[in-house]
A and B are shown apart, each in its own frame.
Chain A
Amino acid sequence: MLKIEVCIGSACYVKGSNQVVADLSQMIRDEGWEDKISLTGSFCMKACQNKTGLGIRINGELIPGITMQNAKEALKAAITERLA
């Protein structure tokens, strides 16, 4: 079971993390990952301070370089890799 946390602190919200939450839940439904992934939110995980893109953690590990634009592809790759 992968635990994905998306930051919805103000800095990430402004950069589109709400959209990423929506995209991820859609992706989980489309791929049939419902029992493999739990999607949850988090308040500020300081990704903004370290300028590593949107705050997104998979099983506690911060995934750097995610933006609203590349979120779908990059996260799909990251998830597929970890599910394999």
Chain B
Amino acid sequence: MRMFANDSRQFKFSVLLEICKQAFAGDLDEAEVHARARELVSLSSPRVRCCVYKEREVLRQRVRLSLGQMANDSAPYNPRQIVQVIDAACDGCSIRKIRVTDNCRKCMAKACLEACRFGAISMGTDRSQIDYDKCKECGMCAKACPYNAIVVTERPCYAHCPVQAISWDENGIAVIDEKKCINCGQCELSCPFGACEDISWVVPVITALKMDIPSFAIIAPSIQGQFGSANLAQIRKGIEMLGFEKCYEVALGADAVAKYEAEELREHMEAGVPLTTSCCPGFVNMQKMHFPEIYEKNKSTTVSPMMALANKLKKEYPDHGIVFIGPCVAKKQEAMEYVSAVDYVLTFEELAAMVAAKDIDFSKIETGEAGHASNYGRGFAASGGVAAAVQQARKENAEDPVNAVFANGAFECKQQLQLIKAGKFPADILEGMCCVGGCVGGPAAIVNAQIAKGRMFKENLANKAETIGGSLDKNSFDGVMMHVVKKEETNHAED
């Protein structure tokens, strides 16, 4: 069954599907899992790498990640590092940033020579050539060439990492610096070889479901439109068919977050300190690790919508497990680095694999109960949605609109944080989302962000009248822990 637009994602899905099938079928034996997964790569399957042996090594590391193990056998388990490099899969892409291609016509003007301020370009026999000992990779030569004969290429993982956490070893294999990585998953989204991947918890979740431990699934707002024509009610019912006692929309938590962040915003505005949002875990990590003073001073202390709903459910049903399902890999870290109300985090990819393993087709399910969340809470799925919900919460409280800036994607987040640091941020609230387009553009989303947004908009037209206040009247968050506590004291990672 083909679900993904590109082969690399599709292959990841096939591995997850195989693991899910085996986990649902019986107790997993690790050796057997690897042996059976090997059938995915055979001598007769189409070659995508140099040989079948290399492909099988990639497969073996993928199986490890799918089983919740570190991709690299010798790496100690680290609950913080969700995104990992499958070193066998890394192509070690060319690291020469500037290259002259055969578009070069060895022209008379030689604008490239003129443009280079470091004397790195000379004219060779067929085309101009670069002396890499002198080249500073500034790209001026590429800009100067009228034939676009000089190209600037960066490794996709490196080019998309907003915090320079990616470097490479002496063999050109990508290495993630865990002290810098914010687990935003942009490298995972960009690597055409599927070499950056997230660790998966499908196996323990399936074990829990099989043992009938009462569990709730809570689904990210961006799930709307991810499964073809299936609507939210069908998706929720389908997830319950996997064995979850009930499936809730995290948009309920988002409604509560909008209200609490609006309250915080009022205090911040009185003090003249811009507020930064706290729903995107990649953005929160970026603040915590790279802009610590902003993290202390500006960041909203309201919990994320996921934590809000999980705290509410855990308070009401302390013996139930809570599994969050979203398009995000950083959420895995947010929920599982320390003990929290969320027991496990799955992605849409992993959900799709579980659903396929159980032969459930969401679009054929008789429609169940629709949700109660407002469109403002559901809007957290896309860039601009969080700030819009905070504005709405103010409106419902008869307050004036505020100036908001949406940072759409990790690089814009970084840019705006630098403005805050420099004291030049022009607005009252900064909404930060590390994925371009918002959560709908997440590294583990299934469909194209624009298509998902379109489907979402269409489905939510019928829900237009619901307000944030109305949603909270039906699902009260009174008495729920809505503010972040220092989690460092409850570390469950160390042995």
Contact = CB atoms under 8 A, between A and B. Distances in A.
Interface residues of B, number: 27
Contact of B204 (A10, A48, A49): A10
Q: Chain A: interface residue count, which band? A: 20 to 34
B493 interface: yes
A36 interface: no
Interface stretch (A37-45, A56-64, A69-77): A37-45
Interface class of chain B by DSSP: loop
Contacts of B490: 49
5 contacts: A8-B207, A10-B343, A11-B492, A14-B68, A18-B28
Nearest to A40: B211
B343 A44 contact: yes
A72 B387 CA distance: 54
Given A49-B490, A49-B492, A10 B211 contact: no
A18 B204 contact: yes
Contact of A18 (B203, B491, B495): B203
Interface in A21-56: 21-22, 25, 39-44, 46, 48-49, 51
B27, B203, B494 — most chain A CB neighbours (10 Å): B27
Given A18-B203, A43-B343, A51-B495, A10 B336 contact: yes
A51 B339 CA distance: 13
Contacts of A25: 27
B68 A13 contact: yes
B77 interface: yes
Given A14-B68, A40-B213, A42-B213, A21 B201 contact: no
A35 to B, nearest CB: 18
A49 to B, nearest CB: 5
Nearest to B30: A19
Contacts of A10: 68, 79, 201, 204, 336, 343-344
B492 A43 contact: no
Interface of A: 8-11, 13-15, 18, 21-22, 25, 39-44, 46, 48-49, 51
Interface class of chain A by DSSP: mixed
B207 A41 contact: yes
B321 interface: yes
Contacts of B212: 40
Q: Which 9 residue pairs across A and B have the least CB separation, nearest first?
A: A41-B211, A48-B492, A43-B321, A22-B27, A13-B204, A43-B343, A11-B492, A41-B213, A8-B204
Contacts of B495: 15, 51
B208 interface: yes
A78 B39 CA distance: 41
A25 B29 CA distance: 13
Given A21-B207, A46-B492, 14 more contacts: A8-B213, A10-B68, A10-B79, A11-B493, A13-B203, A18-B204, A21-B211, A22-B28, A22-B29, A41-B207, A43-B213, A43-B321, A44-B343, A44-B492
Contact of B343 (A9, A14, A51): A9
A18 B211 CA distance: 12
Contact of A14 (B28, B77, B207, B215): B77
Contact of B27 (A8, A11, A21, A42): A21
A9 to B, nearest CB: 6
B208 A8 contact: yes
A47 to B, nearest CB: 9
Given A25-B27, A51-B495, A43 B208 contact: yes
Nearest to A14: B77
